[in-house]
């Protein structure tokens, strides 16, 4: 049975990746692991591997998938969508796969005594038909899989792994347990983050999901206060704000201001008072 990570990948509306995913699951033998969207951070950039294939009897394959119709003009790579719009590719598909391969090799070397087999890179172009006279110097034909070869994708991967195998450097008996252990940390962290994000309450505007306003936060001379904390600082009383409490938001600023040198007080109070935060006692200002 083929192991897939994650079990239900998000292709982000990429039909090309979905086509390749289904072909890999259908063709690869039991014991192989397929990882979709493996992310790694290199020395100078972050990479995301479309498909990482771990074959215990052959090695590891890094696969870059490029949708649309891909062609090369004067050494520049382009892809055309269903609408006919042509887009320039800053990096050729096979170069993207090669960069990802070097990144994963640099990540695994200090963590493993020997690499468990060769690490090869390929590019899959499921909606492109390459010409028979293809001779692109930066993209050898054996490392490219076009739409006519999707049904033999597994065979193409195995052929490239055998070609890259070096018995002096690679140990096929090492297995991929430690590789999976190290790479799985990234996927597990991403899954946990997504889970926490889905459980977090969503807020809209200044009200939470049940329609209640969030507590007003005011800045007092003794520190930040808000909601019940503000009430405790005023000794549990509900009197209107007095001088000494300044609301942070403009809309909540108190309009009562005491003239200097007078005994007048707002809202009919006999004299300005202040409340003790510790005992709730009051004394004239």
**pTM summary value:** 0.64
The residues, ordered by sequence, that sit 6+ positions from 184 with a Cβ below 8 Å of its Cβ are 5
Q: In terms of Cα–Cα distance, which of 12, 106, 29, 30 is closest to 62?
A: 106
Query: Cα separation of 114 and 105, whole Å?
Result: 11
User: What would the pLDDT profile of 162-202 be if each residue is shown by its tens digit?
Assistant: 999 988 888 887 778 888 887 876 554 444 434 444 455 54
What is residue 185's predicted lDDT score, i.e. its pLDDT? 67
Element holding 19 (H helix, E strand)? helix 15-27
What is residue 72's predicted lDDT score, i.e. its pLDDT? 92
Mean per-residue pLDDT for 223-235? 42
Question: Rounded mean pLDDT of the chain?
Answer: 75
| C-beta separation of 95 from 214 below 8 A | no
Q: In terms of Cα–Cα distance, which of 180, 138, 152 is closest to 31?
A: 180
- Is the confidence at residue 143, as pLDDT, over 70? yes
Structure tokens that stand for 264 in this block: 């007048």
Structure tokens that stand for 260 in this block: 């200097």
Strand 3-5 and strand 33-41: the pairing is parallel
Buried b (16+ CB within 10 A) or exposed e, 192-221: eeeeeeeeeeeeeeeeeeeeeeeeeebebe
Query: Cα separation of 190 and 36, whole Å?
Result: 12
- Is the confidence at residue 104, as pLDDT, over 80? yes
Tallying the residues shown for the chain, one arrives at: 285
């Amino acid at each position: 049975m083929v192991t897939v990570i994650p079990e239900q990948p998000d292709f982000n509306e990429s039909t090309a990746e979905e086509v390749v995913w289904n072909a890999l699951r259908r063709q690869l033998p039991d014991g192989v692991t397929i990882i979709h969207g493996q992310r790694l951070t290199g020395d100078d950039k972050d990479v995301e591997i479309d498909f990482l294939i771990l074959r215990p009897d052959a090695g590891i394959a890094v696969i870059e998938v490029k949708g649309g119709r891909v062609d090369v003009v004067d050494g520049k790579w382009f892809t055309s969508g269903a609408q006919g719009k042509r887009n320039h590719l800053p990096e050729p598909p096979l170069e993207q796969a090669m960069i990802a391969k070097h990144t994963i090799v640099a990540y695994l070397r200090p963590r493993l005594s020997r690499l468990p087999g060769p690490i090869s890179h390929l590019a899959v172009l499921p909606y492109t038909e390459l010409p028979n006279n293809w001779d692109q110097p930066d993209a050898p034909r054996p490392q490219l899989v076009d739409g006519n070869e999707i049904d033999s994708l597994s065979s193409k991967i195995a052929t490239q792994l055998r070609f890259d195998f070096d018995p002096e450097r690679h140990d096929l008996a090492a297995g991929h347990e430690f590789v999976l252990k190290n790479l799985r940390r990234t996927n597990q962290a991403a899954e946990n983050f997504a889970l926490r994000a889905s459980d977090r309450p969503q807020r809209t505007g200044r009200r939470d999901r049940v329609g209640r306003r969030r507590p007003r936060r005011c800045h007092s001379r003794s520190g930040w206060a808000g909601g019940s904390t503000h009430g405790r600082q005023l000794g549990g009383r509900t009197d209107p704000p007095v001088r000494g409490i300044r609301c942070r938001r403009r809309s909540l600023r108190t309009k009562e201001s005491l003239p200097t040198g007078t005994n007048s007080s707002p809202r009919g109070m006999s004299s300005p008072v202040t409340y003790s935060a510790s005992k709730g006692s009051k004394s004239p200002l």
